[in-house]
Structure 1
Amino acid sequence: MTEAPVLPLHMQRDQFDPVDELGRTRDSGGITMVPSLFGGPPAYLVTRYEDVRAVLSDAEHFSNARTRSFETEDGPQFTEDELEQMRAGQMLAFDPPEHTRLRRMLTPEFTVRRMRRLEPRIVEIVESALDDMERAGKPVDLVSTFALPIPSLVICELLGVPYADRGEFQQRTGRLLDVSLPMKERIAVSRENRKYMARLVEGAKAAPGEDMLGMLIREHGDDLSNDELIGVASLLLIAGHETTSNMLGLGTLALLRHPDQLKRVRDEPDMVSPAVEELLRWISIVHSGVPRTTTTEVEIAGQTIPAGELVVLALPAANRDPSFIEDPERLDIGRGAPGHVAFGHGVHHCLGAPLARMEMHIAFPALLRRFPDLALAVPDDQVDFHTFNAIYGLRSLPVTW
């Protein structure tokens, strides 16, 4: 009989809140040793806001590229050649200057100015999803009819992925991010995903479109290997729909549980931007990001960590740190939560943050104005949180109006 997987401490939640043990760790020593997710080497878990920001700011001493997180108790799952092939183009798997080289090619596509040019199309996509909800009739699952389709269609159009393939890649992504599945199964899904992206890149190289993949091929084709194009496309596709969709679902639930704040998002346009920032802080859908490996002996929270050790960051605990923000357990959309680490910090700060913010800025008030009587269609305690997922979210959110 297979033992049920144990959820790592940094991923443990009580619905919206990090578990009490994370808070106790943060408020006492700030750092603790935790078992590895897959039976590999243990890791140092960093929980305080100031320490998390320090690690994220220091790529020299906390390396993404030297990660040991692929190690398991069963030994290597990839050959060295395959590991290098699958790391190619994955910005999160590199440190400067290699990371800088890759990011520089993509940065112009994710500026605030570029996002403003996309705004009319995002408005159309949001309104179309709302039309679909209305036509379907109440009750509906907000996740499958609204939260997931919007960012999926946006990233498909931006990147140049056929929207007809969304069911296929969403199913793969769900399995890839499901940490309750055996490592071997998730690795098999990784290989399937790479084959799909390789076919996509091959087609784009034959006939580059006006999308981001076409731009990369036309403008940087001589600088990017085929493996790097596949890696970049894969990272953008997964990150571009999975994160924002989970924020739209969880953010809506959070507002439904705080009706006074929901009303302000619905009725006061100036409150939407600060509400998005506070929801990002309070929910913190990314548990930790990529584990870092120390390149030399370092000190965090007064504790010495030797070289070559894994370091994992508890982003939800950091965003609820009283030293960062007053009364951190309270959702207060009026404060805007400047400085939160929901998008990370430093050189690996989320490249797609302007796009995610734009989608949420449009989607939340549009949903609440179209359905001013939006409400849960199930008892509150029956909402199904997606616990064993590398990116926190909801499996479904039945709503009515």
Structure 2
Amino acid sequence: MPKIFPTTTGLIAAGLTLLSCAGCTSEPAASPVPDGTLVDVVTIHRAGGRTSSFDGVLRPRRDIALGFKTGGRVLALTVQVGDHVRAGQVLARLTRTEAIADAGQARAELAAATAEAIRAGDAARRASGLDGIGALSAADVHDRALTASAAAAKRDAARAAFERSRVTLADAVLVAPEDGVVTERAAESGTVVDAGGVVVRLAAGSPEIEVRLPERARLAGGTMADASFWSAPDMIAEARLRLVGPAADGTLRLRTARFTVLGDVSAIPFNSSATLTLRLPDPKATIRVPLTALGAQGSQPHVWTLSSGANGGGNGGGNRVHRQPVHLVDLRGDDAIVSGLPDGQRIVASGGDTLSEGQHVVVAGSVAGGN
């Protein structure tokens, strides 16, 4: 029997039949198409910029000198230097013997004046109209009215004197106006003090470092710094600029600046020496980026930076690219040295030639970057 060899046409037909049958049983899964251009990104980092150091002094935000409103002899001081006090806490008392006696006398004089005013007022009311019927002369009625007015005035004066004696009695007690730390006892028990004389000094508010800056220094509000202390060399605390004096002194042309200490420095006594190292941004600082991240529009080099929208960043949606001009400093192998980029910025590592301003992209991966 002769052998039959399949032709090439038959083999092709058989293969197509098999493919069509396979399609009847299952369909190949379609690869997901990302909603946006896939890009690789790099996060760039560099050093924190220039630094400048200044010597300063740790001070309280408010230094409050407290004294009695009236003079007298100090009976007792109830606090010691270093004590933490609360608002309204009694700090010291004056001897109140004389004040108590004055208050008692004022109370008695007020009672007498009040009784006299009542008696004179009643007499004036009884005399009113009697001159019309001839029982009293008009002069007598007028005199009784004047006496009542004078008695009422003496009563009001006695009441004011009594209130003043009560205030004087209250002023013999010195209380803390707010929370703070006692930094000085300027008087002791038995000392005679004048009205307004300093008895206790209170440090209140957050601790601050006071430094003197040259007039050429231009610091933005909120400038950060690192604070170290001579008495505790192992302690480093963050500090933030609160204010810079509006005027420099006339001799050295230095302005006073106050930095609020953010860390806990309660173990450091006030008036301790400190060194403040300012963190100053350097717009000319260079940074290393992949050479493939550079593009050019005309003669101006640029990179594509990423900003995250409401949907977040990472490998999800919400990333859009923006053209950021940079200054090309040098080329080093596969990297470029540029300036004009902030620390921590995410940029497109490659494939930027096909991008346009504001285009949505999907992050396909991250590449470690650095200096």
Is the shorter-chain TM-score for this pair beyond 0.5, marking a shared fold? no
Normalization by structure 1: what TM-score? 0.18
Which structure has greater strand proportion?
A: 2
TM-score normalised by length of structure 2: 0.19
Larger radius of gyration: 2
Which one has the bigger helix percentage? 1
